Amino acid sequence: MPKHFLMCRPDYFTVEYAINPWMHPEAGADRERAIRQWEGLKSAYEELGHQVSLIDPIEGLPDMVFAANGALVVGGRVYGARFAYPQRAAEGPAYLRWFAERGYPTMEPSHVNEGEGDFLTLDEVILAGTGFRTDVVAHQEAQEYLGRPVVSLTLVDPRYYHLDTALFPLDGHNVAYYPEAFSPGSLAVLRRMFPDAVVATAEDAAVLGLNAVSDGTNVVINAEATNLQLELKRRGYEVIPVDLSELRKAGGGPKCCTLEIRGRTDMITSAELIEVSERRSAHNYHPLPVVIREAEGAWVTDVEGKRYLDCLSGYSSLNFGHRHPKIIEAAREQLDRLTLTSRAFYHDQFAQFCAGLGDLTGKDMILPMNTGAEAVETAIKVARKWGYDVKGVEPGKANIIVMENNFHGRTTTIISFSTDPEAHDGFGPYTPGFKIVPYGSADAVRQAIDPETVAVLVEPIQGEAGVLVPPDGYLTELREICSAEGVLLIADEIQSGLGRTGHTFACDHEGVVPDIYVLGKALGGGVVPVSAIAADRDVLGVIHPGQHGSTFGGNPLACAVANAVIEILNTGEFQARAAKLGEVLHGRLRELVGHGSIVEVRGRGLWAGVDIHPDVGTGREVSKALLKRGVLAKDTHGSTIRLAPPIVVTEDDLHWAVDQLVDAVYELQSR
């Protein structure tokens, strides 16, 4: 049966002090070699079908790699560690915090114990060591908390100061052990409890051969414990030898590096969660095979504990990063007070939201909604109403000019003017009233306008189409045409706006101010759906009570979150950061063009579309290759991937992400 292990990569491993007989600081340690050996152990577990979660290493805690000492987990309950030596004292709270953050019941111990170093669990009993590290009183404390009988065993040889250096469970009923490590009374207990135990030689014990991990069928063991391996094979076990000689310089072996998480039935694997999701949800998306559990800043972590650099940012919903402290604080404070009133009443966050977003956009009025598609639908309704009430278009005749390859959402009206067959085909009858012209051609717009045209709807940069940037001057010409013809210019800044491209709005690159801004995604700070349109009174004033609305549009929680977002944007910090880091990103990406794998790179700020040569692979294949390397990106239109990391990303992170792209493409080229 697959097991669930917690491990800690030895990024800070060293031997600088001596707290056990194995440690000799004068001999030093090769950290890179230790990392390679540790990765070999992790791979061995994964190849056997076991789940491995990871806890982040902490600088200054070189022994944190020995995860077994961090806690004891039985029945989904976590009994924490309290270390005997001050050098390791901070590890106990770190491991306990990891479990608490994932919803495990935890107990901070009152007595010294070093987790699974001295507590080894079988089906009906816990064997517990004492004599050098763990206080025997901790055995009683663990028994009371976990509700499992604990059998105390006294260790007498200082080389085998932890129980897991002198004994390991073969399965739920039997063990292997080294007799000379135990007191006479404890040895008698072991012989009575396990008459068929595997008894190790002194030679195998001396290379930490008993610091092994068994799943009942396979035994992962130090490679140098040759006699023990032969005996285990004779007993019918499959033996997987691993080299952890570098970690043994600090007294570590396979078990030291491995904390078993027992009895938590809801901690299932990504594969299991994906299988249920595919079986029980409509297939309106084709996600990459990763299940994200938590996130902070520009990084996310999956259910197995692997970290990824998020280079998609929720299609620009996470411009300010995952769980930005100011935004989360605003949400928490509002959650404690008021979440919903509906627009049947005023609430205390609404005025600040409308005034703040109005000032940010330079517009008189705001009409809040929830999703981006709702905001686009709102802009369409407002434009038509304006056309009838102000421009004098004959009722039912208004038309709006839209662009080829547009993406404004997936409602029935919006897909009616989509040129993407996947979004459009099979959903008719379609809503009339739209004219489609080529993106980037101001002349095409000019020629399409007629007396019944009420608006031109445009993305300043087409995101879903592959981060297509129009020719210089295009937006300026559209502004001039619309002003001259008495037509509203509607800018869909849902993906391109709110700092993504290095300005507050992508229109700002040409100094263009549309008649209507359509906003969403990042306006909700990655916390709640928030969208809105912003326009002057002569446009939005055409909407009267009862003509448009939403139960949740402009709710107190959404407004509180959006107010925090607006305050962040008012500093200009994120716009400047996106511009500066965008130069780094595009500079690196441009270097890759023309070498047979990457055909073209487009974008502005921290937003890039990268076209992959068809001979290399599809955009999805590249995205999956990046996923293996710890980078989350997404394909579009076959051969293009989009890169849009949160603006909190660091320059080093960007360089690393591009390095992974280079490696991913090279791997695909070499197939």
**Dist. CA 531–CA 193, nearest whole Å:** 67
E strand segments, 571-659 = 598-603, 608-612, 631-632, 634-636, 640-643
CB-based contacts of 461: which residues, under 8 Å, 6+ apart?
467, 468, 469, 470, 495, 496, 501, 506, 603, 604, 607
Q: Tell me which of 407, 417, 434, 505 is the catalytic residue.
A: 407
User: What span, in angstroms and rounded, lies between the C-alpha atoms of 552 and 437?
Assistant: 35
Active site residue 407: yes
Is 536 an active-site residue? no
Sign of the CA dihedral running 101, 104, 109, 115: negative
Q: Find how far residue 312's CA is from the centre of its chain.
A: 10
Q: What CA–CA distance (Å, rounded) separates 379 from 368?
A: 11
Answer yes or no: are the C-beta atoms of 13 and 36 closer than 8 Å: no
306's tokens: 């692997």
CB neighbourhood size of 395 (10 A): 8
Please give the full DSSP string across 145-208, using - where no structure is assigned: HH---EEEEEB--GGG-SGGGTEEESSSS-EEE-GGGB-HHHHHHHHHH-TTPEEPPHHHHHTT
Cis peptide leading into 429, omega within 30 of 0?
yes
Q: Tell me if 81 sits within 8 A of 109, measured CB to CB.
A: yes
Residue from 606, 611, 573 nearest 587 by CA: 606
DSSP bridge partners of 296:
299
In sequence order, what E strands does 346-429 have? Answer: 365-369, 399-403
Q: For residue 492, indicate whether it is catalytic.
A: yes
User: 3-state SS string over 344-364?
Assistant: CCCCCCHHHHHHHHHHHHCCC
Residue 524 identity: G
Alpha carbons 2 and 441: distance in angstroms, whole number: 59
Distance from C-alpha of 327 to C-alpha of 567, rounded to nearest angstrom: 10
Question: What's the order of all strands across the beta sheet hosting 175-177?
Answer: 167-169, 175-177, 198-199
Distance of alpha carbon 213 from alpha carbon 658, whole angstroms: 38
Give 220-228 contacts, CB < 8 A, sequence gap 24+: 220/41, 220/44, 220/45, 220/48, 220/254, 221/254, 222/248, 222/253, 222/254, 225/200, 227/200, 227/201, 227/203, 228/176, 228/198, 228/200, 228/201, 228/204
The Cα–Cα gap between 162 and 211 comes to 10
Cβ pair 498, 532 in contact under 8 A: no
Tokens of 21: 């007989």
Set 3, 255, 521, 624: catalytic member:
521
**Residue 222 and residue 209: Cα distance in Å, rounded?**
5
Query: How far is residue 433's CA from residue 400's CA, in Å, rounded to a whole number?
Result: 6
Query: CA distances (Å), 651 to each of 142, 232, 412, 569, 656, in order?
Result: 47, 51, 41, 21, 9
Residue tagged active-site, from 215, 492, 515, 611 = 492
What percent of the residues of the chain are helix, what percent strand, and what percent coil, each to the nearest 5?
40, 20, 45
Whether the CA torsion 597, 600, 605, 607 is positive or negative: it is: negative
> What is the Cα–Cα distance from 505 to 524, expressed in whole angstroms?
16
Catalytic residues: 407, 492, 521
